[in-house]
Amino acid sequence: MPAWSPEPVTDSATALLERECALTRTGDGVYERDLGRVWWGWEAQHGGYVTALAITATEAELAEPEQSLQHLTIHFMRPFVDGPFRAEVTVERRGRTMANVTARLWSGGKVAGLVLASYARRRAVAEITAARMPAVAPFDPDELPDGAPPALPTFERVAMYPRFAAVDGSGTARVGGWCCPHTPEIVDDRWLVLLADFWPPAALSLWGQGALAQSVDLTFHPRGRFPRPDLPPGEPLLVVLDTRASVGGFVDEDVEIWSRSSELLAQSRQMRYVHG
C-alpha cells in the first residue's frame, strides 16, 4: 500500500485521488483537510471518495505495514460537504494477524459518518476461487465511451464503457462495465472503493423515473493486497452491480470489481435510502 502522505494539494484541478486523500495529522488519532469539489457527487462529496478518506486515516493511524485492509463498513449519517473534514481514529485492537479500527468522520462541524475497519496479515490458507467473471466484451482502448455520464466532477474523471443494462423480468437488475480513469489513478484500496460506489445504481433500471437513492451504509472487502505491479496506474477495471430488491424504502446493491485477467479484486454491499 502506498505510504500515507501529508502533503497538501496544490492543484485541485489535476490532482489524482491519492493527492486528494492526503491528510494532515493534527493530534492523536486526528486527521484533517479541506475538501474541494474534485470528487463531487449528487449535492455532496462522492461516497466512494469519503470512504477512501476513511481508508487513508485508519491506515495511517494503525501504521502496520505488514497488514492491509480486509474490511471496512461506513455508515453515512449526513451529507459530506466541501470545507473542513476531520477523521477521529481509534485503534481498538492490535493483533499479530488482525487489527480493528474505528473512526468518526466530521463534515460541516457535525459527525457525518461512522467507520469500522479491520486490517489483516494476508495468508495463503484454504484458497479457492468459486466466482467467475461475467462474460463481456473485453476492454478496447480504441472504443469510444458509450453515452453521456452524469454531469458531475466525479464522472468527468472516468470513462465508462457499459457492458450490462439488463432487467430480466424477475426483479433483478444488473448494470456496469469497464471503468478507465482519464488520469493514472493507482489501483489500491482507495481507488477500488471509489469504483465500488461509482456506477449509477442498478435499481434505476427497474424504477425508470420517479425515484432516487442515497447511500446509508457501504461494506467493502478488497480481495487482495494492493497496489501491485501487474495492475499499473490507470488500468481499466470491470465494475458489475446487481440489485435484488427495493423494500420498505431501502434498496440493496452488490458490486464486484474484476481485472482484465478475470481476477476478482473487490466486493461491496450497499444499502441506499430511497427518495420517492
Whether CATH 3.40.50.720 fits 153-275: no
Per the confidence metrics, is the pTM higher than 0.85? Answer: yes
C-alpha of 122 from chain center: 21
- In DSSP notation, 7-68 reads PPPS-TTT--HHHHT--EEEETTEEEEEE-STTB-SSSB-HHHHHHHHHHHHHHHH--TT-E
Question: What does the pLDDT profile of the chain (276 residues) look like in tens digits?
Answer: 233 233 333 343 444 899 999 999 999 999 999 999 999 998 899 999 999 999 999 999 999 999 999 999 999 999 999 999 999 999 999 999 999 999 999 999 999 999 999 999 998 898 888 999 999 999 998 998 876 677 888 988 999 999 987 665 555 688 999 999 999 999 999 999 999 999 988 887 777 667 788 899 999 999 999 999 999 999 999 999 999 888 999 999 999 999 999 999 999 999 999 987
User: Using an 8 Å Cβ cutoff, are 70 and 45 in contact?
Assistant: no
pLDDT of residue 4: 29
Residue ranges of domains in the chain:
17-120, 153-275
pLDDT of residue 147: 63
Burial class from Cβ neighbours inside 10 Å (0-12, 13-18, 19+) for residue 14 reads exposed
Beta bridge partners of 158: 181
User: Using an 8 Å Cβ cutoff, are 222 and 266 in contact?
Assistant: yes
Q: Is 17-120's fold the same as 153-275's?
A: yes
pLDDT of residue 204: 79
pLDDT of residue 87: 98
What is the CATH number assigned to the segment(s) 17-120? 3.10.129.10
> Secondary structure of the chain: what % helix, strand, coil (to 5)?
15, 40, 45
